[in-house]
């Protein structure tokens, strides 16, 4: 009769492999999957898209209503009015939005209300923005939209600058994501 020798891994070898896999899972894997950072970047890109599309919609509405008598805004905020110079306010579902040169102004009552980052009737407050993870800061001629929760909110942002002349478009910067 032939006898077969069985060879395999020792218990020590198996334990060492399991320990190494456990260390890799605990230390290395979280560095490759930072889902919170990805979520903040996605939120920033969504806010930028809302600013761009809201700005275009308000521009169209302001052009159509420029110099026209308007009824009171059902969302609140009084009677909308866009004068011949393209300044005034336009009625939206959330109330009146301030416009300058036919585009939303660079403030809470303008582009931030237009974008609908916070679901409120009228102009959102700083506290309402913060509750939803946003904050704003003034920049040269415009407003910076920042996402809270990262390492540096100012470096997780984009800028909106209203136009400086009739017929010009607002400037929306690329996103900065180093602080997300």
**Structure tokens that stand for 105 in this block:** 């102004």
Judge whether 75 lies within some domain: yes
Report how many domains make up the chain. Answer: 1
177 part of a folded domain: no
Any domain includes 83: yes
CA distance 78 to 76: 6
- Tens digits of per-residue pLDDT, 17-35? 999 888 877 877 676 667 8
Spatial distance between the Cα atoms of 52 and 47, rounded to a whole number of angstroms: 9
In a domain, 14, yes or no: no
Which pLDDT belongs to residue 28? 73
Give a yes or no: residue 41 inside a domain: yes
pLDDT tens digits, the chain, 180 residues: what are they?
566 666 778 888 889 999 988 887 787 767 666 788 999 999 999 999 999 999 999 999 999 999 888 888 876 667 888 998 899 999 888 788 999 999 999 999 999 999 999 988 888 999 999 999 999 999 999 999 999 999 999 999 999 999 999 889 999 999 999 999
For residue 71, being part of any structural domain is answered with yes
- What are residue 159's phi and psi, to 5 degrees? -115, 145
pLDDT at 33: 66
Q: What is the pTM of this model?
A: 0.80
Structure tokens at 75: 């969302």
Q: How is residue 172 written in tokens?
A: 């929306």
Q: Which domain holds residue 47?
A: 36-172
Pairing of the two strands 88-92 and 142-147: unpaired
- pLDDT value of residue 32: 67
Label residues 97-130 b or e (16+ Cβ within 10 Å = b): bbbbbbbbbbbbbbbbbbbbbbeeebbbeeebbe
Taking the C-alpha atoms of residue 127 and residue 175, their distance in angstroms, rounded to an integer, is 23
| 179 within domain boundaries | no
Residue 1 belongs to a domain: no
């Amino acid at each position: 009769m032939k006898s077969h020798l069985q060879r395999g891994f020792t218990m020590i070898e198996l334990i060492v492999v399991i320990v190494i896999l456990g260390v890799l899972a605990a230390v290395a894997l979280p560095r490759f999957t930072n889902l919170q950072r990805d979520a903040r970047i996605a939120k920033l890109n969504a806010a930028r898209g809302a600013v761009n599309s809201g700005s275009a919609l308000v521009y169209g509405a302001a052009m159509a209503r420029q110099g026209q008598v308007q009824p009171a805004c059902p969302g609140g905020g009084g009677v909308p009015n866009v004068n011949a110079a393209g300044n005034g306010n336009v009625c939206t579902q959330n109330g009146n939005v301030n416009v300058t040169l036919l585009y939303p102004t660079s403030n809470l009552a303008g582009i931030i209300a237009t974008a609908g980052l916070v679901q409120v009737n009228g102009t959102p407050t700083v506290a309402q923005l913060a509750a939803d993870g946003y904050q704003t800061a003034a920049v040269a001629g415009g407003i910076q939209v920042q996402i809270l929760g990262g390492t540096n909110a100012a470096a997780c942002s984009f800028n909106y600058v209203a136009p400086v002349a009739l017929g010009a478009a607002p400037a929306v910067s690329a996103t900065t994501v180093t602080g997300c």
